[in-house]
């Protein structure tokens, strides 16, 4: 295990940089994806939805 805070940060420091890089890459990929979900042109009118999952044999 870790003996001090300094040991902990030296061991896991690269992981924090990778998390930041992943977040930036994901946001750029979302902008470049033509199939990504976008805001609809018109506001949806449905207030509620009933979803029935009826698995058959």
Q: What is the pLDDT of residues 1-57, one digit of tens each?
A: 667 887 777 777 767 777 788 888 887 776 777 776 777 788 888 889 999 989 886
Q: Is residue 16 part of a domain?
A: yes
Q: How many domains does the chain have?
A: 1
Q: Whole domain around residue 19: which residue ranges?
A: 1-33
Distance from C-alpha of 31 to C-alpha of 10, rounded to nearest angstrom: 34
pLDDT of residue 52: 92
Establish if 48 belongs to a structural domain.
Answer: no
Domain membership of residue 3 (yes or no) is: yes
Look at residue 52 and tell me if it is in a domain: no
Q: Provide the pLDDT for residue 50.
A: 93
Predicted confidence at residue 2, as pLDDT, reads 60
Compute the radius of gyration of the chain from its Cα atoms: 22
Closest CA to 29 of 21, 19, 39: 21
């Amino acid at each position: 295990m870790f003996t001090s805070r300094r040991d902990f940060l030296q061991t896991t420091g690269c992981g924090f940089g990778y998390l930041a890089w992943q977040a930036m890459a994901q946001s750029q990929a979302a902008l470049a994806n033509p199939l990504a979900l976008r805001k609809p042109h018109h506001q949806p009118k449905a207030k509620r939805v009933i979803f029935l999952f009826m698995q058959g044999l």
